[in-house]
Amino acid sequence: MTGPVVAAVVAGVFTLVSVGLTVRLWHDPSRVRRAIVAYTWLPFGENVKRGLIRGAATRIPVLAGATGICVLAATSAGALKAPGPAGAVAIVLIALVILSFLVAISILLVNRPRWLVPPHMRDEPGLLGRPER
């Protein structure tokens, strides 16, 4: 029982931190360079890192959905496999996570939908629009 509770708290904290970082990145173009430096541990080029930064807004529903799933797992033992309201909520949360992940991949590859991309990064091509340096 403590495992799902700890996971829910950690995912909730990550969600709140992600909201704050995304809002700051959205309004301050100078944060992009700092975010790329923060991604130095990733074994990808700068174009991939910029794509991950462009898709920062999609991390919020992924983390919020994961938090909800953890809360359901902690509060109702069979919610993820039982039919009923808790099972329906679990299905909706899982669908939210999957859809958000697919949108993140779309932003990474083709920079669409642009309304989810920070305004100062909307004119950048996605990974499929530029050769890797």
pLDDT digits (tens, 9 = 90+) for 39-86: 888 888 888 999 999 999 999 999 999 888 888 777 776 655 656 777
Q: Show the domain range for 13.
A: 2-120
| Per-residue confidence (pLDDT) for residue 28, from 0 to 100 | 92
Number of domains in the chain: 1
Which ranges constitute the DSSP H helices of 1-133?
2-27, 31-38, 46-54, 59-75, 85-110
**Other residues' Cβ atoms within 10 Å of the Cβ of residue 61:** 19
Task: Give the C-alpha separation, 94 to 27, whole Å.
Answer: 30
Radius of gyration of the chain (CA): 17
For residue 67, is it within any domain? Answer: yes
For residue 55, is it within any domain? Answer: yes
Going by C-alpha positions, the residue among 122, 120, 101 that lies closest to residue 25 is: 120
| Per-residue confidence (pLDDT) for residue 102, from 0 to 100 | 96
Evaluate if residue 30 carries a pLDDT over 60. Answer: yes
**Other residues' Cβ atoms within 10 Å of the Cβ of residue 117:** 23
Question: pTM (2 decimals)?
Answer: 0.82
For residue 125, is it within any domain? Answer: no
For residue 133, is it within any domain? Answer: no
